[in-house]
Structure 1
Amino acid sequence: MLIKQCEFITSAVKRTQYPIDNRPEIAFVGRSNVGKSSIINALTMRKNLAKVGNTPGKTRLINFFLINNEFYLVDLPGYGYAKVSKVERKKWGEIIEEYLTQRENLKKVVLLVDSRHKPTEDDILMLNWIRHYGYNVTVVATKIDKLTKNELRKNESIIRETLKIDKEELYFFSSTTRVDREKLVDNLFDDVLETVE
């Protein structure tokens, strides 16, 4: 799939603020420091489409990006950032939960995990939650440029065992090198496009 056009459309914290044009949506979710904004920018080949912050937890809203005028890529707030208050974390959780449980346009969820570390309890809970609601899910391990090939092989086994996923459901990517970017774009977005036709 060739991404020819992408633009930020709106930010939302509640259902009444979501786009109302019924295009299909694919949501990206992950821990606050997993590199969500970086991978969105890398996949769309737009340097500043999603704002990348030096501080984890920058995304506090649901951000909708229109791709090729056909579907939305949806950037959800990151979870698991310890340096915010419990009240703030609860609020972020409610924003994510409302979207994931009540959005009929949502066709797929991409769960991002850090390839350098064993998935956290939050990652496991999120994946189980996504499965519980019956969404098509793909797991992408980020920041692979920080690992040697041996470390990557070892960590792939750890990630698959921890999350209980098949090899086919797990992809690896570096937003810095962008190796195999086109292949990942096809794998993430092609089946969503089929729902448009």
Structure 2
Amino acid sequence: MIDFSRANFLVSAQRFNQCPADSGAEVAFAGRSNAGKSSALNTISGVRSLARTSKTPGRTQLINFFALDDERRLVDLPGYGFAKVPERVKQEWQRELTLYLEKRQALRGLILLMDIRHPLKEYDRQLLDWCQSSKLPVHILLTKADKLSRGAGGGILQKLRHQLNKDYPNSTVQLFSSLNKQGVEEAREHIANWLGAPTK
């Protein structure tokens, strides 16, 4: 059984070779800067200050590991896209992110966060292309769903679902809101399935 509320900070890695032992199973959270990655981690775990949140895009600059138990982890990856950091830093993030995705044996699946108002941007597609070729399953959270009406959000969800079925069949998608807790249980179920245990 996975008790998400037991999630606690394990370690931060600036470089891939600083990651903890590559054993057990982990699910990583990725997305463009300011897509709501840290907020989603806090909401899904139910631990309010698990991941640091900020209104400044690009605040997550390390690979952050959070332990659920001795064998299972959640991982917060650096945001990509329009973060207000020097180009050199962006390139370093990209290199370490690529190493993690390509080399990490414990990685079981990727939670990809997209702002529902700006889905499937260029970097999102690049990541989906890589996951498709590597056969890594992806579950997309359309974050900030509370910003749109139910009808508008549902329309975007159906359109994106159709597109994913055609282009990225190893991907699934749902609506999500950290503000009103929409979609939390569905997200937990996907994570728990990848980690090989039911939720508590």
TM-score (norm 2): 0.88
> Any conservation in 1 of the 2:9–2:67 contact (CA below 8 Å)?
yes
Q: CA deviation at 1:165?
A: 4.7
Residue in structure 2 matched with residue 111 of structure 1 by the alignment: 112
Which letter does structure 2 place at the counterpart of 1:181?
A: V
Residue in structure 2 matched with residue 20 of structure 1 by the alignment: 21
188, 193, 196: which one aligns with 2:196: 193
Between the aligned partners of 1:21 and 1:100, the Cα distance in structure 2 is: 12
Alignment of 1:89-108 (within 5 A): 89-108=90-109
Alignment of 1:46-195 (within 5 A): 46-161=47-162, 163=164, 164-165=167-168, 169-194=172-197
Residue in structure 2 matched with residue 44 of structure 1 by the alignment: 45
Residue in structure 1 matched with residue 11 of structure 2 by the alignment: 10
Q: CA deviation at 1:162?
A: 5.0
Q: Structure 2: state its 5+ residue gaps.
A: none
TM-score (norm 1): 0.90
Between the aligned partners of 1:107 and 1:192, the Cα distance in structure 2 is: 7
Which letter does structure 2 place at the counterpart of 1:32?
A: S
Between the aligned partners of 2:22 and 2:121, the Cα distance in structure 1 is: 36
Q: Kindly tell me: are residues 140 and 180 of structure 1, through their superposed partners in 2, closer, same or farther at Cα, counting changes over 3 Å? A: closer
Of the structure 1 ranges 93-102 and 168-177, higher mean CA displacement relative to structure 2 is found in: 168-177
- Hey, which bits of structure 1, 4+ residues long, moved more than 3 A? 160-166
> What is the SS of the residue equivalent to 2:97?
helix
> What is the SS of the residue equivalent to 1:51?
coil
> What is the SS of the residue equivalent to 1:94?
helix
> What is the SS of the residue equivalent to 2:196?
helix
Q: Structure 1: state its 5+ residue gaps.
A: none
Q: CA deviation at 1:182?
A: 2.2
Which letter does structure 1 place at the counterpart of 2:98?
A: E
Deviations 1:50-85 (A, max 9, x none): 000110100010000001333110000000025322
Between the aligned partners of 1:150 and 1:111, the Cα distance in structure 2 is: 23
Q: CA deviation at 1:137?
A: 1.4
> Any conservation in 1 of the 2:161–2:172 contact (CA below 8 Å)?
no
**Could you tell me the percent identity over the aligned residues?**
35
Which letter does structure 2 place at the counterpart of 1:86?
A: E
Q: When the two structures are aligned, how many residues end up with a matched partner?
A: 194
